[in-house]
């Protein structure tokens, strides 16, 4: 059957996008230079909250560990981590800290946990997985940097060049550009189903929002797409997690949380798959759409995170374009 020029162009663009997305995923293999595959791994500060973007990072991180044969001997979130758990970390383990967009003083709980781990484990190899940096206070930046740069074996992986410039030297001498861990979820063989609806508007409404972006009546944020039943289950798991942290006992809440996350991300995937395209100011709304082979137009967050990431990693993915 003969194809129109438009159909041929579309097929060519899809092939080009697949090559670009595969190249981004392949770049993550470089992490094996910093996390030895023959040593146990302790994975800390995985997300224990309902930001689907960070759950995608967690799932990509776990897939990376599985794909490269790592032995993950311990996992903990900021909710159920305890000093007693820290005392059980093997001497030869590499400590991996969750990446994402909460490095800095916008989300101090996560930054303080990183600082505590880095200060309390000077003899361990520590790697902070890909993240970007935003400090609003120069005093906080300098205080945090003084803790980080004392560690003798610390690697910081960053998702954009501005973060590289901000951290190199001040926080560590080993700061490396790396794409987001969610790219490990890329599947060359995935075929998107036929879309039932036109455009999904996923616009953030939190501390990183840009005033006026969420004015559209049909826009959503992650929280709007999560059912009340899911939120109730989340609260129950949180209670169990807090009890684990207080008692230094394990009740299987980590496994329950991972099952919950699989179900929640699956539901979000169904939402994305039902739409022809995505318009978003969420970085992982953009990445998730690209992973699902959906056209996506993005608007930036309050400090330019999406634009910086696009310029460095996604510019060759033709289905990803800035919104005008």
pLDDT for the residue numbered 211: 82
Report, in angstroms and rounded to the nearest whole number, the Rg of the chain calculated over CA atoms. 20
3-state secondary structure of 203: coil
Residues 296 and 202 in one domain: yes
**In a domain? residue 213:** yes
**In a domain? residue 2:** no
Taking the whole predicted model, whether its pTM rises above 0.85 is answered as yes
pLDDT tens digits, residue range 133-189?
999 999 999 999 999 999 999 999 999 999 999 999 999 999 999 999 999 999 999
Residues 143 and 245 in one domain: no
Residues 106 and 151 in one domain: yes
Q: Are 282 and 53 in contact (CB under 8 A)?
A: yes
DSSP state of 124: S
Residues 41 and 140 in one domain: yes
**In a domain? residue 6:** no
Residues 216 and 160 in one domain: no
Q: Give the domain range for residue 225.
A: 190-322
For the chain, the domain total comes to 2
**In a domain? residue 3:** no
Which residue has tokens 């470089």? 30
Q: Is 232 exposed, middle or buried (0-12, 13-18, 19+ CB in 10 A)?
A: exposed
E strand residue ranges, the chain: 41-46, 72-77, 94-97, 100-104, 125-134, 154-158, 175-177, 197-202, 275-280, 296-298, 320-322
* 6 pLDDT tier (thresholds 50, 70, 90): very low
Which residue has tokens 């162009």? 9
* 2 pLDDT tier (thresholds 50, 70, 90): very low
Residues 197 and 79 in one domain: no
* 13 pLDDT tier (thresholds 50, 70, 90): low
Residues 227 and 260 in one domain: yes
């Amino acid at each position: 059957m003969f194809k129109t020029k438009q159909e041929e162009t579309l097929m060519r663009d899809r092939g080009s996008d697949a090559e670009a997305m595969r190249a981004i995923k392949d770049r993550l293999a470089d992490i094996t230079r910093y996390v030895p595959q023959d040593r146990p791994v302790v994975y800390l500060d995985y997300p224990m909250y309902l930001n689907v973007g960070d759950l995608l990072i967690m799932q990509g991180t776990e897939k990376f560990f599985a794909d490269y044969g790592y032995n993950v001997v311990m996992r903990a979130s900021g909710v159920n981590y305890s000093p007693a758990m820290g005392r059980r970390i093997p001497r030869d383990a590499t400590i991996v800290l969750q990446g994402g967009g909460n490095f800095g003083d916008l989300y101090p709980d996560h930054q303080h946990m990183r600082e505590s781990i880095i200060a309390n484990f000077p003899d361990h190899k520590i790697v902070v997985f890909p993240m970007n940096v935003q400090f609003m206070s120069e005093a906080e930046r300098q205080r945090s940097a003084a803790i980080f740069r004392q560690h003798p074996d610390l690697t910081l992986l960053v998702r954009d060049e501005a973060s590289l410039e901000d951290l190199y030297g001040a926080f560590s001498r080993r700061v490396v550009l790396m794409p987001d861990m969610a790219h490990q979820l890329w599947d060359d063989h995935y075929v998107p189903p036929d879309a039932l609806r036109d455009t999904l508007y996923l616009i953030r409404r939190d501390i990183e929002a840009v005033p006026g972006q969420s004015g559209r009546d049909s826009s959503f944020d992650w929280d709007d797409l999560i059912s009340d039943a899911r939120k109730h289950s989340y609260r129950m798991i949180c209670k169990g997690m807090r009890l684990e942290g207080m008692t230094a006992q394990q009740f299987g809440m980590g496994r329950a949380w991972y099952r919950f996350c699989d179900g929640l991300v699956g539901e979000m995937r169904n939402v994305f798959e039902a739409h022809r395209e995505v318009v978003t100011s969420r970085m992982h709304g953009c990445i998730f759409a690209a992973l699902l082979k959906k056209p996506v137009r993005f608007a930036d967050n309050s400090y330019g995170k999406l634009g910086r990431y696009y310029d460095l990693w996604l510019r060759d993915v033709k289905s990803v374009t800035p919104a005008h």
